[in-house]
Amino acid sequence: MLKTTVFSQIIRGEILADILYQDQYITAFRDVSPKAPIHILIVPNIQISTLNDVLKSDTYMLGRMVMTAISIAKNEGIAESGYRLIMNCNKDGGQEVYHIHLHLLGGRPLGAILDR
Ligand code: DGP
C-alpha cells in the first residue's frame, strides 16, 4: 500500500487547491509554489510514485496529461509565447512529491533548460 500523497488528497478534495481541470483520469491544479507566472501541475488520479513505475497500460493517461497541458497552455494564453513541460524522477531529477506529475510552466522567458 502506497503512502498517500498531498496530490491524492487534493484529488479527493481533502486539501484545497486551485483546480483547473478534472476528469476520470487526471487532475490539473496550480502549483502552490509557482516558479513562473503560470505554473500548473497535471497529475494522474491514481497514485504512481515515479516515472519508473509507469506501465504500458498507463499510455492513454500519459497522453491525456500532455494533451491537457497543451489545452491549458492555450487557455492561459501562453501557447504562442511558449512554455515548458517537465516531469522530474527521483532524487537526482529533483522529485519532491512521489505521485507523478507534469509541470506546465510559462508566462516569462524560461531560459536554458538547466541553470547549473
Ligand atoms: P516535484 O519537485 O517535481 O516533485 O514538484 C512538486 C511540486 O508540487 C512543487 O512545485 C510544489 C508542488 N506542491 C507541493 N505541495 C503542494 C500542495 O499542497 N499544493 C499544490 N498546489 N502544490 C504543491
Threshold 0.85, pTM exceeds: yes
* Domains, the chain: 6-106 (3.30.428.10)
Residues lining ligand 1, Cβ inside 6 A: 6, 15, 17, 29, 31-33, 41, 88, 94-97
Q: What is the pLDDT of residues 82-92, one digit of tens each?
A: 999 999 999 99
Q: What phi and psi values does residue 53 have, to the nearest 5 degrees?
A: -95, 0
Dist. CA 8 → ligand 1 center (Å): 12
pLDDT at 96 exceeding the cut of 70? yes
List C-alpha distances in Å: 82 to 85, 86, 90, 111. 10, 14, 27, 11
Q: What is the pLDDT of residues 8-57, one digit of tens each?
A: 999 999 999 999 999 999 999 999 999 999 999 999 999 999 999 999 99
Q: Which H/E stretch holds residue 60?
A: helix 59-75
